[in-house]
Structure 1
């Protein structure tokens, strides 16, 4: 695939808030730079870059030029010698449209309903996956399976990753409600309940169906036995659907997200909130009844995403925290304190390590409800983790919290998850450095990176155009479905396309915008969701 020449000067291709720090990153060239007004063509700012410094992840020397003093709204680009950057804006509220697009993507991920042209534009398609699903370990049982979001570039649906995505969106709404005032719009838009809650409810209604009525446990996933071809549209994927067996990790995630939803939705719909809480309690009881459960493994004839996870302490910890925060019942508090004493990651936010959500739930509640010693211990640990990330940011040429080893499959999720943690640290401490560093992570995602690419389809001067995403490949629309976060550089080169084209590249350059690159250029709901959270903090 032919790709455009990379620019040596990289910027956030969306723009910069008026009063925030603003900088351009230059690879391989230092000196005097100018900021040029895009309309008049006249320089409005001149500065000097710092000295070039080697950047291991980028595989080259880089420097930055600061133009924070420029706080005049407008459209600009940067020049240094014969190099120019992408255009960008300086504005009071530059990320509003990006935020809307990242959130609207969840509507475009919907399964089981018509995506009408009114709301989906040229990416409309007919309802899909309408047949009942078969319970894998009891083929006589058929269950309604419609609704929810497709997980990724395929059409599978997974309880744990879906719960993570909903949790990110609900946290974003809880902490930054101002960002969700404008309608998207979507079919449910009513001017009363924020659209983010309408959209999350679409997934939550599906998650109810993933709870086994017989036991209260949660089915691990709902998929066909194998993935369809890459050009198959969702309504043409007619293979049989299966509810794969109950797992402890899925059940813990369902308990956590339903308890959280009960709290968030109560001011808007008490009946729905009660239903969520009942589901959470039933799932929690299943966890109590099944203290030792092996991790989920795909049956031999299933080839869809496994999302295997041997460790379920983190999901149980999250469930206990949310149930305690929502109900105030000391029984859940007792379980949470016992789980907190166990050894597992308590500040991670990935689908396999959900402990961070339990920690956030405990720290963000009314402190009078918690145990002071435990609150202080968890807060100190979170701030220590944030300081570790801050040290990585300071050493990194692009200002983000990834070391060379962190450019893994889904590295952009790691980028956004870590920015989430920095923003929670800011919320709890008031330390401005965490907020500023989180903003640098948005700049990276939106183009201020070694490849000079916006990792969000449809946004920026040079966005991803060929994601590994079946509707984007299978439809007749030239542009991909917009608002999707690509997985990002992956030094593991875990697919044939990457192996063929990216041998010898530096970690942060191990990315190719090719639909065949599922290990770098796929999209998922749980890569979009932390991006929504982070961007929402900076939307007025």
Structure 2
């Protein structure tokens, strides 16, 4: 990073407005782009040797200036930032695009020009999938969202993505008043729920109607080449065996959906609850079940997970919140006694969703357990806040957390801070969350917006097969990149990023899938976080 990094989307009038300068303390000016007038002068805050970026950085704060317009920051040494906006609606278009991205991830239908614009393409992956290990049986599980830069579809990660979107709708319904629009837009049910239903319908097809268990994933045996369009990926499809983690996630998200959709489509809500209860029955009949591993001839994304206690915990919480049945409350209390992370929001650790559901529930709760979980949530938020105050860019990532999908970690933690505020009745963490948004859209060690199509310097070459193969210069808009990854886990990263500081270990190239891939469950927490500010 050189010079000054900013939130390239801009800043809301009354929000905290910060930028980061790579250098020692120095004076700066805020200048109107329109007429060159200096409207604000200040000094950078104390400089800091930032461990994550490996740089000495200084924070600029011009929060007191609230006049709408286009501005840039100029340091006394002559370096200056890109122009940026100050205004009330700087996040609306990005929020809309982050949500619209899920439409672009759709599998099994034509993405028509009316809705997809330049990024239109044909229907794909419509053939029934072979049940791995039972070659005589097939499952017609079309639809849903492609998971990432490839065309696999996975129940656990899909459940995490839908959970984030449904939570965003529950917490911030007004943020979804505007139509996307989508083919299903009807002016009655919000488009976020239409979009989630497309994934939920696919998940329902992934449930084994004999046992109630849920197949782990649906993929080809191996990934297609990097420029393959979805409709050209015609290899045989397979569903991998049932897993406890997929079944637990399925039970949790279906119980949640039953509650959210009830006032819009009671019949669909009822089908979700029936499916959730059947999955729960499978879980009770299989209290100890081996963790999922890829079958020997399948080399697509594994999403392996040895521990299913957190998924069961989430399922019990959602089933209790939706039905009020004592058996689910008892199961939740029993599962809460096990040792696992009860505040994590990742696809492998779903415990945070169970905790949030229980604490947000209107049902009667066990007072001691609720108090314990609330205290733990606030403690976790306090730890994240402490990291923010030590970080050069004001975010909650420790140097060792710049892993594959570090932007998901960043956004999950921003989500948790907002939920801690909500459940604590405070606004203590809102300012810190804004720095997470500033980081995502350019106030970071590489000076790029990590969202395609947004900002003055957005990523342009994500690891995303449709963006690579469609012949369109610009990538599909609204996709969140994985972000810096000190693990250098692809060939390009090993050659070009080895030895880089954690926050700088990023490459905007298709080949660097370990830093620049996109996924549905990196977009989903971004939608949640921006929903708070629109």
Instruction: Name the TM tier (shorter chain).
Output: over 0.9
1:53-77: CA deviations, max 9, x gaps?
Answer: 1000010101111101101111111
Tell me the distance in 2 between the aligned counterparts of 1:70 and 1:498: 41
1:406-445 counterparts in 2 under 5 A?
406-445=401-440
1:250-399 counterparts in 2 under 5 A?
250-366=246-362, 369-399=364-394
Tell me the distance in 2 between the aligned counterparts of 1:373 and 1:145: 43
Number of aligned residue pairs: 533
2:184 counterpart SS class: coil
Give 5+ residue unaligned stretches, structure 1: 1-5
1:23-422 counterparts in 2 under 5 A?
23-80=18-75, 81-366=77-362, 369-422=364-417
1:132-188: CA deviations, max 9, x gaps?
Answer: 111112111112121000000000000000000000000000000010000011101
1:252-307: CA deviations, max 9, x gaps?
Answer: 00000000000000010000000000010000000000001000011111010000
| Match for residue 456 of structure 2 among 456, 461, 485 | 461
Q: Report the TM-score, using the length of structure 1 for normalisation.
A: 0.98
Tell me the distance in 1 between the aligned counterparts of 2:523 and 2:306: 25
Q: Which runs of 4+ in 1 moved over 6 A?
A: none
Q: CA deviation at 1:237?
A: 0.1
Tell me the distance in 2 between the aligned counterparts of 1:126 and 1:503: 39
Tell me the distance in 2 between the aligned counterparts of 1:157 and 1:522: 15
Tell me the distance in 2 between the aligned counterparts of 1:279 and 1:439: 39
Q: CA deviation at 1:316?
A: 0.1
Tell me the distance in 1 between the aligned counterparts of 2:481 and 2:142: 26
Corresponding residue of 1:3: none
1:173-208: CA deviations, max 9, x gaps?
Answer: 000001000001110111110000000000000000
For the 8 Å contact 1:27–1:60, the answer to whether it is kept is: yes
1:77 counterpart SS class: strand
Tell me the distance in 1 between the aligned counterparts of 2:21 and 2:83: 15
Tell me the distance in 2 between the aligned counterparts of 1:509 and 1:76: 27
| Match for residue 513 of structure 1 among 496, 501, 508 | 508
Are 2:525 and 1:537 equivalent residues in the alignment? Answer: no
Tell me the distance in 2 between the aligned counterparts of 1:282 and 1:87: 55
| Match for residue 497 of structure 2 among 468, 481, 502 | 502
Tell me the distance in 2 between the aligned counterparts of 1:538 and 1:314: 30
1:24 counterpart SS class: strand
2:127 counterpart SS class: coil
Q: CA deviation at 1:21?
A: 1.0
Q: CA deviation at 1:93?
A: 2.5
2:7 counterpart SS class: coil
Q: CA deviation at 1:29?
A: 4.0
Q: CA deviation at 1:511?
A: 0.2
For the 8 Å contact 1:457–1:481, the answer to whether it is kept is: yes
Tell me the distance in 2 between the aligned counterparts of 1:268 and 1:83: 54
Q: CA deviation at 1:369?
A: 1.3
Q: CA deviation at 1:7?
A: 3.5
Tell me the distance in 2 between the aligned counterparts of 1:51 and 1:215: 61
Tell me the distance in 1 between the aligned counterparts of 2:35 and 2:368: 59
Tell me the distance in 1 between the aligned counterparts of 2:283 and 2:34: 61
105-114 or 433-442, which moves further after superposition? 433-442
Tell me the distance in 1 between the aligned counterparts of 2:341 and 2:499: 33
For the 8 Å contact 1:7–1:84, the answer to whether it is kept is: no
2:94 counterpart SS class: helix
For the 8 Å contact 1:54–1:62, the answer to whether it is kept is: yes
1:261 counterpart SS class: helix
2:515 counterpart SS class: coil
432-441 or 343-352, which moves further after superposition? 432-441
Q: Say what the alpha-carbon RMSD is for the aligned residues.
A: 0.8
Tell me the distance in 2 between the aligned counterparts of 1:153 and 1:255: 27
For the 8 Å contact 1:8–1:29, the answer to whether it is kept is: no
Q: Report the TM-score, using the length of structure 2 for normalisation.
A: 0.99
Are 2:488 and 1:493 equivalent residues in the alignment? Answer: yes
30-39 or 276-285, which moves further after superposition? 30-39
